[in-house]
Amino acid sequence: MTARILVVDDVPANVRLLEAKLTLDYYDVLTAADGPTALRIAKAELPDIVLLDVMMPGMDGFEVSRRLKADPVTRHIPVILVTALDGREDRIQGLEAGADDFLTKPIDDVVLMARVRSMIRLKAAMDELREREESGRRLGLAEGVGRLRSSGARVLVVDDNPQQANRLLAELGGEHRVVHESDPNAALMTCRGPVDLLIVNAAADSFDGLRLAAQVRSQEASRNLAILAIVDPGERARMLKALELGVNDILSRPVDQQELAARVRTQVKRKRYADFLREKLDFSLEMAVTDPLTGLHNRRYMTSQLQALLQRANHGGEPVAALLLDIDHFKGVNDGFGHDAGDEVLREFGVRLATNVRAVDLPCRLGGEEFVVLMPGIRLEDAGRIAERIRMNVEAAPFRILGGQELLPITVSIGVAASVAPHETPESLLKRADDGVYEAKSRGRNVVVARAA
C-alpha cells in the first residue's frame, strides 16, 4: 500500500529518520521544517497523511493541525501528531485541534507502520468524499459540511465490566444517546441499526472484543460504523491487531473522561462526514436527517424510515409500532416565558425521550412540540408500556428553563398504534396514533392512549 506522507519537524535528524523508515516501506515522503511551510505543501500537494511534530518554534503542531482541519482543501487529510509529550492535557488539546492520532517519541517502528496503514485506509475512504465536497463547493454548498455536528450521536457501549460501562454512560450521556450492551451477539444485531459509534472493551473477560469488531466490519449494514476500542496500555499486540482489523481509534485504560469525550466527538464527526458524501447528499447529513434543535431525527428521516419498515412488515416482516407525542400546554410555555425557554423544554424533552426508548427505536421530532418514535419489532401492548415509561419520566421531574433559573412542570399526551399487515400505510399508522393523542387531550392530558386497528 503506497501513499504520500508529509513529515513535519524542525529537527533535521528526526526528519531524516522518519523519511528513511517510511521510504523503506515504499512510501513517498515530503518534508517541511516549520508550520507555515507544512501548510503550504499540504495545500499544494495534498498528501495522504501528515506526520506532525508538536514542539516547533513559531507555529506549533496544534496550530498547524487546527489550520489544516479548518481549510476545506486539507480538512480530509489525516493528521498524526508526533510528540515527546505524553500528558493527557496534550492529547486532549491535540484532539480538539483536529488530530486523528498520536505517536509518542521515541517512535516504535511497528506501531508507526500500523498507525500509518490505518490512516491510509481512512484516507482512501475519504477520497471520494473530497471529490464530492469539491463539487458542492463549486455549487456554493460547501458550508453544509462545516455544520456537521459532533453531538447527539447514537453510541453503543459493549462492555462486561459494569463499573466501567456506567462511567462511560455517565460521561457521554449528556451529549449523546448512549446504550449499553454486555452480550456481543445482541450488540452485533444492534449495530445493524442506526448506530454512529461502537465503543468496545477489547479486554473484556466474557467475550472477545476484537472478534466483535471484526464481525461488525464484515457486515454490510455496519461496516462503515466508527469503532473505538478500549485496551490495556501494556497489550501492544492487541492494540496492533485492533488497528489491523480496522478499529478507528484506541483508548487506553483507565479511561480518562475528557479524552474519551474528545475522541468520541472526533469519531462521530468523521463518521457523519463520511456518511454525508457516501450517500451523495448535497447538504450536510446533519441538516438532512437531524433536527438541529433537539438532535433527534427529523420528519424527513422519519418518513423514509417508516415507509421502509412498513414495507417489510407488510411482506411478512416484524410489526412496527409508532408513538405520537404532544407536549401539553406548550403554547403557554412560549407565551409565558418566551421562545428561548420553549427551545430549552424541547431540547430537554428530546433527551428524556431518547433515553427512555430502546436502542433500535427511532425518536424523531415531527415539528413544533410534536414527536414520533418508530419502534420496529414490537407489538401494541409493549409499545404502550414504553410510552407510559416516557410519560412518567417527563412528569417526574420539572424542566429547567431560563438557564436553570426556573423549574417548569411539563407533561405529555401520547398516542400509540401498531401496524396491521398486509395493507398498513404510514398515513394510516400515524393517523391512529394521532387519534390516540386527540383522545388523551380530551381526557385531561398527561395520558397514554393505545389505538388498535
Render pLDDT for 205-257 as a digit per residue (tens, 0 to 9). 999 999 999 999 998 889 889 999 999 888 888 989 998 888 998 888 888 88
Please check the confidence at residue 67 and state whether its pLDDT lies above 80.
yes
Residue 86 sits at φ, ψ, to 5 deg, of -125, 20
Strand 448-450's sheet: what is its strand order?
Answer: 362-367, 370-376, 320-327, 412-418, 448-450
CB 451 within 8 A of CB 417: yes
Whole-number Å distance between alpha carbons of 384 and 449:
8
| β-bridge pairing 154-158 and 406-408 | unpaired
Whole-number Å distance between alpha carbons of 421 and 429:
11
Whole-number Å distance between alpha carbons of 266 and 188:
23
Q: At what angle do helices 257-278 and 162-172 cross, to 10 degrees?
A: 70
Please check the confidence at residue 68 and state whether its pLDDT lies above 50.
yes
C-alpha distances in angstroms, 87 versus 7, 100, 101, 126, 281?
23, 17, 14, 30, 40
Please check the confidence at residue 122 and state whether its pLDDT lies above 90.
no
Across 188-209, average pLDDT = 92
For the four alpha carbons of 143, 146, 152 and 155, in that order, the dihedral sign comes to positive
CA dihedral 428→431→435→440, nearest 10 degrees, is 120
Provide CB contacts within 8 A for 268, sequence distance 6+.
Answer: 150, 151, 153, 155, 176, 196, 197, 226
Neighbours of 3 (CB within 10 A): 19
CB 176 within 8 A of CB 155: yes
CB 159 within 8 A of CB 165: yes
Across 97-104, average pLDDT = 85
Q: Where are the beta strands (DSSP E) in 212-302?
A: 226-231, 249-252
C-alpha distances in angstroms, 176 versus 61, 75, 169?
29, 24, 9
Q: Return the top range by mean pLDDT from 272-276, 300-304, 419-423, 442-446.
A: 442-446
Please check the confidence at residue 37 and state whether its pLDDT lies above 80.
yes
Across 179-199, average pLDDT = 93
Please write the tens of the pLDDT for every residue from 332-353.
999 999 999 999 999 999 999 9
Whole-number Å distance between alpha carbons of 452 and 384:
11
Please check the confidence at residue 285 and state whether its pLDDT lies above 60.
no
Neighbours of 223 (CB within 10 A): 11
Length of the chain: 453
DSSP per residue, 377-388: T--HHHHHHHHH
Selected residue with higher pLDDT from 115 and 196: 196
395 annotated active-site: no
CB 72 within 8 A of CB 142: yes
Across 25-31, average pLDDT = 92
Q: What is the pLDDT of residue 220?
A: 87
Provide CB contacts within 8 A for 277, sequence distance 6+.
Answer: 128, 129, 132, 133
| β-bridge pairing 226-231 and 249-252 | parallel
Provide CB contacts within 8 A for 271, sequence distance 6+.
Answer: 153, 196, 197, 224, 225, 226
DSSP per residue, 124-173: HHHHHHHHHHHHHHHTT-THHHHT--SSS-EEEEE-S-HHHHHHHHHHHT
| β-bridge pairing 177-181 and 154-158 | parallel
Q: What is the pLDDT of residue 433?
A: 96
Across 57-76, average pLDDT = 91
Output the furthest CA–CA distance in the chain (Å, rounded): 79
Q: Which of 369, 388, 406, 424 is catalytic?
A: 369
